[in-house]
DNA sequence: GCAAAAGTGTTGAACTTACACCCATGT
DNA sequence: ACATGGGTGTAAGTTCAACACTTTTGC
């Protein structure tokens, strides 16, 4: 290490992850009741510290796996929270991430271990430090992002119906959409594979199930296509 | 500090800033020839380390001021570069920012002090560490951002002509634009104040100068307006 | 008088929005 | 038979893209 480096102050580097989920009730946030100091007993985002042998993305994956037992969730960097006094108990710099999780893949046992609980997006309890600000930022990013990237599918089961997909977008954007126009737009991109099966849980008639064709999407992207809802 | 914290490894936290400029020749990047180790003598982005009493944005402002002598430049966080081996000389985590600078405000003396030099965007020399990756990322972000935010004006003199503005967008986006459509679109937002004066440097006829009306923009944004080029 | 850049409108195509009824099924 | 959510098409309005000529002025 060069001398110039050794004169610098090192910092504790953490990450916090805003985990979104979606179910019949709408858009949800996964929070943990802290079983450790500081702020033990309060609601907070899941987080962790960066370790020597990993980069920040790996740390985020690790922390996410630790909580949920799942790997390869959609994960996106938000921004660095670095105010000197943001943590009541010492100087910690935190990189915020948000993740999208299919709630039907969840392992409830695993979640209980960390006292984790889903909260409706408009019923979020008071959070420690600047976590509420992080959540607001993540939500804003999700709202922007979901219009131009096919990330909504990360929140739905692998097989889903068009009405379900529409409800998801309505929950994220907080607005109502016209079902004819929504169908037209989403199907016109020709990225959804219609299956034979129907999902009968939502109605007597039942709605056809679809699958997102990721390979086709990747191919089209290479050709200059852009996703839009 | 709680015990849990003191068990963690601290890291050196730096920042690097991709500084864009624009002049008659097109879009430019401001680089420094490193007068210090590691990689002394090689071209690199301007950077610095986070200090104890500041947050990362303040650090970025400070570093930017140190190089250019200017304050309050447009500055946006990009992403964290945290690979364990990214710096050849020790573990340094770096937050990348990009900044937009009006080249007509530059202080050449100041820039010379740091051996700083402007490079055309398609003539960037080899850079140290992962700085080239940072530049690519910044450029991609700038291209996306300039279509939906009025950040182009941060690269032009306070008074500018429509053809100048168009050339700026063409330089950023790397495509040609139709001047009638461009004018129509940009003027239809009604955010540019036409001045009496003409700039005669670009042609015999001369082109009218305009000013961006930031107050009006802020007002409109509050009313749900969105900027688009 | 000519070269060089500034400035100006129209038309067709594509896309967006608004809107109302029939269908299939379980009870 | 009826209640519930699933599924479908069209017309008007808006936005976008393509395109060519006139103006001003310094030389």
What is the side-by-side strand order in the sheet with B159-161? B159-161, B207-212, B192-199
Looking at residue A169, what is its pLDDT? 98
Looking at residue A8, what is its pLDDT? 97
Looking at residue B2, what is its pLDDT? 77
Range 33-72 of B in CB contact (< 8 A) with A: 36-38, 49-57
Block residue for tokens 């594979």: A193
Give the single-character DSSP code of A69.
Answer: S
Looking at residue B145, what is its pLDDT? 98
Distance CA B38, CA B24 (A): 34
Mode of pairing for the β-strands spanning B10-23 and B92-100: parallel
A96 and A17 in contact (C-beta within 8 Å)? Answer: yes
- CB B9 to CB A50 under 8 A? yes
Distance from CA of A181 to the nearest CA of B (A): 23
Phi and psi angles of residue A80, each rounded to the nearest 5 degrees, phi first: -85, 135
Distance from CA of B107 to the nearest CA of A (A): 27
Distance CA B114, CA A209 (A): 61
- CB B13 to CB A12 under 8 A? no
- CB B9 to CB A51 under 8 A? yes
Q: Which residues contact B94 (CB under 8 A, 6 or more apart)?
A: B13, B14, B15, B16, B47, B80, B81, B82, B86, B87
Distance CA B120, CA B171 (A): 10
Taking the Cβ of residue A112 and every Cβ of chain B, the question of whether any pair is shorter than 8 Å is answered with no
Taking the Cβ of residue A144 and every Cβ of chain B, the question of whether any pair is shorter than 8 Å is answered with no
- CB A52 to CB B84 under 8 A? yes
Distance from CA of B104 to the nearest CA of A (A): 31
Distance CA A183, CA A193 (A): 13
A41 and A33 in contact (C-beta within 8 Å)? Answer: yes
For residue range B6-15, list pLDDT tens digits in order. 999 999 999 9
Looking at residue B4, what is its pLDDT? 85
Distance CA A93, CA A81 (A): 6
Taking the Cβ of residue B89 and every Cβ of chain A, the question of whether any pair is shorter than 8 Å is answered with yes
Looking at residue A2, what is its pLDDT? 77
pLDDT by position in tens, chain A (length 229): 678 899 999 999 999 999 999 999 999 999 999 999 899 999 999 999 999 999 999 999 999 999 999 999 999 999 999 999 999 999 999 999 999 999 999 999 999 999 999 999 999 999 999 999 999 999 999 999 999 999 999 999 999 999 999 999 999 999 999 999 999 999 999 999 999 999 999 999 999 999 999 999 999 999 999 999 9
Low-confidence ranges of chain B (pLDDT < 50): none
Distance CA B31, CA B180 (A): 36
- CB A84 to CB B10 under 8 A? no
B36 and A7 in contact (C-beta within 8 Å)? Answer: no
Which residues are paired to B75 by β-bridges? B99
Domains and CATH numbers, chain B: 3-145 (3.90.79.10), 152-222 (1.10.10.10)
Q: Is the CB of A161 under 7 A from strand D?
A: yes
Looking at residue B3, what is its pLDDT? 81
B26 and B124 in contact (C-beta within 8 Å)? Answer: no
Residue of A34, A55, A129 to mutate for B, most B C-beta atoms under 10 A: A55
What six digits make up the tokens of B106? 């530059």
Taking the Cβ of residue A11 and every Cβ of chain B, the question of whether any pair is shorter than 8 Å is answered with yes
HSE-up (13 A, CA, CB side) for residue A75: 20
Mode of pairing for the β-strands spanning A10-23 and A92-100: parallel
For residue range B165-200, list pLDDT tens digits in order. 999 999 999 999 999 999 999 999 999 999 999 999
Of the candidates B84, B64, B93, B86, the residue with the CA atom closest to the CA atom of residue B76: B64
H, E, C per residue of chain B: CCHHHHCCCEEEEEEEEEEEEEECCEEEEEEEECCCCCCCCCEECEEEECCCCCCHHHHHHHHHHHHHCCCCCEEEEEEEECCCCCCCCCCEEEEEEEEECCHHHCCHHHHHHCCEEEEECCCCCCECCCHHHHHHHHHHHHHHHCCCCCCHHHHCCCEEEHHHHHHHHHHHHCCCCCHHHHHHHHHHCCCEEEEEEEECCCCCCCEEEEEECHHHHHHHHHCCCCCCC
A206 and A200 in contact (C-beta within 8 Å)? Answer: yes
Which residues are paired to B26 by β-bridges? B23
């Amino acid at each position: 290490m060069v001398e110039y480096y050794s004169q610098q102050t090192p910092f504790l580097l953490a990450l916090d992850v805003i985990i979104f989920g979606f179910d019949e009730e709408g858009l949800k946030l996964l929070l943990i009741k802290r079983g450790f100091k500081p702020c033990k007993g309060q609601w907070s985002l899941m987080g962790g510290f960066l370790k020597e042998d990993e980069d920040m993305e790996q740390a985020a994956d690790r922390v996410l796996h630790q909580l949920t037992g799942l790997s390869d969730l959609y994960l996106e960097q938000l921004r660095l929270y670095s105010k000197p006094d943001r943590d009541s108990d010492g100087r910690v710099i935190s990189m915020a991430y948000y993740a999208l999780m299919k709630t039907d893949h969840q392992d409830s046992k695993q979640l209980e271990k960390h006292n984790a609980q889903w909260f409706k997006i408009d019923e979020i309890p008071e959070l420690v430090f600047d976590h509420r600000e992080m959540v607001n930022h993540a939500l804003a990013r999700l709202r922007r992002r979901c219009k131009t990237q096919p990330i909504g599918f990360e929140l739905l089961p692998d097989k889903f119906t068009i009405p379900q997909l529409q409800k998801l977008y309505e929950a994220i954007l907080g607005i109502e959409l016209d079902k004819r126009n929504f169908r037209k737009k989403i199907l016109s991109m020709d990225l959804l594979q219609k299956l034979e099966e129907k999902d009968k849980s939502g109605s007597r008639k039942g709605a056809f199930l679809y699958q997102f064709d990721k390979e086709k999407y990747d191919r089209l992207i290479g050709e200059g296509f852009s996703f839009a809802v």
